[in-house]
Amino acid sequence: MGRKQSDLSKKPKGRFQGALQRVGLILFMIFVVSVPATVTTRAETTDVKGLEAVFASRVSLSDCIRYAYDKNPAIQEARRAWQATLERYRIDTGLPDPEIMVTYFPEPLETRLGPQDWNANISQKIPFPLKLSKAGEIVETEARIARLNLDKTVRDIIVSIKESFYELLYIRRARRLADQNMKLLDHLRKVSETAYARDRATLLDMVKAQSQTGQLRYDILLLEELEKTEIARLNGLLNRPPGAPIGRLQKETHRPLAFSLEEIYSQAKVNQEEIQITKIQIKRAKKKVELARYHSLPDFKVGLFYAGIGNPDVASPASDAGQDAIGIQAAVTLPLWFGKNKGRVAQARAEMKKAEAARALRINDTMTQIRALYFRMQNAQRLVELYQKELLPQAAKAMEIAETWFRQGQSSFSDFIETQSVWYNFNLALARARADYGKNLARLERLVGRSLTARSDESMNRSGKEEK
C-alpha cells in the first residue's frame, strides 16, 4: 500500500488542473464529432443527389464508392457507434451523482432541544484522485478502436463494391462476347446448311453448328440472370432498390503493384485496421491493469446533515431549545477485501496477455492471406498477358486460316467451328482474368490497409519506424 501511494505522489496533479484538462478534452471531442461531420455530410449529400441521375447512364467505380459512403447503413452504424463512444468520456470521467436523503418521523423523536420532526442530508462520493482520469484514458482507447472500426467498415464496403463492380464488368463483357458469337454462329449455321445442301459439309458438321448455337443461347440466358443478381448485390451495397438501374460501367485500368512482397508485409503490420486495433487493445488492457490497482485505494464521501427540531412541550425549556441541528459528514471506504482487489488486477493482466496473443495471431493470419492473394493476383496478371499477347492473336489467326481453307475445300467445316469456339473461350478467359486481378487486388489492399499501386513516402517512413 505504501509503495502504491508513493508512486502516485510522483505525479502531482491539482484538482482544478485535472478538471480543466478533462473539460478541454471533452470540448475537443465534441468539436471533432460535430463540426467536421456536419460539413462532410452536407457536401456528400449534395453529391449523392447528382449521382442518382448518373447511375442510369454511365457509372464509375468512384461514383459507387462516394454514394455508398453516404448511404450505406453499415457505415452509418459504425459512425454512430464511434460518436457514442466519444460521448462515454463525459460519463466515465464525471463524478457520481450526489445523493439527497430526507427522513420524516410520523412520531417525532424527543431530544433535549425538542422533538425532531424530520432530517435531511446531502452527500457526494469522490473517487480516489486519478481514478477518473484512468477511466477516461480507457475510454480514449475505446474511442480510437471505434474509429478504426469505422475505417474498417468503410474499407470492407469499398472492397465489396469493387468485387461486385469487377464481376458486373465481366458479366457484361461476357454478354457482349456471347451476342457477337451468336451472330457469327447464326451465319456459320446458314453456311453449314448451304454447304450440306451442296454436299460440301457432312450432317455431323451441321449438327455441331446447331448444337453450338443452342449452348450459346443457354450461356446468354445464364449471363442475363447473373447480371440481374450482381446488380441487386451492388444496389444492396449502395442502399438502393434491388432492381434500380445501373448504366454502362466505366472500364477500370489496373495498374501494377508498386510494392514488393516484403514491403507489403511491412505495410500491413502498420496500416491494417485489425492489427492497429489489437495494438490499441493491448494499451487498453494495460490501462485496465492500472485502473484495477486504483480500486484497492479508498474512495471518499462528504456530506451535509440538517435536522429540523420543534419547540419542546416542557415547562422550563433550555436556552437553545428548538434550534435546528447542522452537521458536516465525511466518510472513507475501507478496501479490506484484498482477494477481490487481487482478482481485479489478475483479470486485467489476463486480458492484456489475451490481447497480445490476439495481435500475434492476427499478424500471422494476415501474412498467410497476403501470400495467397499475392499469388492469385500475380497469376491473374500472367493469364491476362498470356491471353492478350499470345493465345488470342493465335486463335484469331487460326480462325482466319480455317475459314480460308474451308472456302478452298482444304479442311472440314468442323475445323472452322472448333477454331471459332476456341477464340470465343479465350476471350471469356481474358475477361475472367481481368476481373480476378481487380478483385484480388482489392482483397489484398484490404489486408494491407492502403493502396498498393501508388507509393507514399509518409506511410513508408512510418512503416520503417514501426519495424525498428
355 residue type, one letter: A
100 - beta bridge partners?
A: 122
Q: Is the pTM of the predicted complex or chain greater than 0.85?
A: no
SS3 166: helix
Q: Of 209, 212, 178, which is closest to residue 414 (Cα–Cα)?
A: 209
H/E run at residue 62: helix 61-71
As to burial, measured by CB atoms within 10 angstroms (0-12 exposed, 13-18 middle, 19+ buried), residue 278 is: buried
Write down the pLDDT at residue 262: 94
Distances from the Cα of 440 to the Cα of 55, 211, 367, 382, 398, angstroms: 25, 36, 15, 13, 32
Contact 269, 364 (CB under 8 A): no
Q: CA distances (Å), 60 to each of 50, 162, 179, 379, 405, in order?
A: 14, 11, 24, 26, 45
What CATH number did the domain enclosing 57 receive? 1.20.1600.10
Instruction: Identify the residue whose cell numbers are 453456311.
Output: 191
Asked, for residue 325, whether it belongs to a domain, the answer is no
Q: What pLDDT is stored for residue 205 in this prediction?
A: 62
Please report whether residue 310 resides in a domain.
no
Buried/exposed 42-75: b ≥16 CB within 10 Å, e otherwise: eebeeebeebeeebeeebebebbbebbbbbbeeb
Enclosing H/E stretch for 125: strand 114-126
Q: Distance (Å, rounded) from C-alpha 312 to C-alpha 110?
A: 8
Residue 324, domain member (yes or no) = no
Give the whole-angstrom CA distance, residue 93 versus residue 129. Answer: 12
Helix (H, G, I), strand (E, B) or coil at 241: coil
Q: Name the DSSP letter for residue 336.
A: -
Angle separating helix axes 457-467 and 261-271, nearest 10 degrees:
80
Asked if residue 122 is part of any domain, the answer here is no
* Residue-level pLDDT at 46: 38
Strands 58-59 and 248-249: parallel
- Strand pairing partners for 114? 111
What's the domain range around 436? 16-96+129-296+337-467
Tell me how crowded residue 235 is: count the other CB atoms within 10 A of its CB.
18
What distance in Å separates the CA atoms of residue 27 and residue 215, rounded to the nearest whole number? 68
Domain count, the chain: 1
Side-chain-facing half-sphere of 426: CA atoms under 13 Å: 21
Question: 392 in a domain, yes or no?
Answer: yes
CA distance 95 to 253: 57
Q: What is the dihedral of CA 372, 375, 381, 386, to 10 degrees?
A: -130
Per-residue pLDDT of the chain (468 residues; tens, 9 = 90+): 344 333 333 444 444 444 444 444 444 444 433 434 333 333 344 355 666 777 778 888 998 998 999 899 999 999 999 999 988 888 888 888 999 999 888 888 777 777 888 889 999 999 988 889 889 999 999 999 999 999 999 999 999 999 999 999 999 999 999 988 888 777 766 666 666 555 555 656 666 667 777 888 898 999 999 999 999 999 999 999 998 889 899 887 878 889 999 999 999 999 999 999 999 999 999 998 988 888 888 999 999 999 888 777 766 776 667 778 889 999 998 888 888 888 888 988 999 999 999 999 999 999 999 999 999 999 999 999 999 999 999 988 888 887 777 667 676 667 777 888 888 899 999 999 999 999 999 999 999 999 998 876 555 455 444 444
Q: Where are the alpha helices (DSSP H) in 238-325?
A: 261-271, 273-294
- Residue at 427 is within a domain: yes
Which helix (DSSP H) or strand (DSSP E) does residue 124 occupy? strand 114-126
Distances (CA, A) of 207 to 3, 194, 197, 399, 419: 95, 13, 13, 20, 16
User: What backbone phi and psi angles, to 5 degrees, belong to 260?
Assistant: -80, 170
pLDDT reported for residue 273: 93
Q: What is the pLDDT of residue 30?
A: 40
Residue 358 lies in a domain: yes
Q: Do the Cβ atoms of 234 and 64 come closer than 8 Å?
A: yes
**243 falls within a domain:** yes
pLDDT for 207 equals: 66
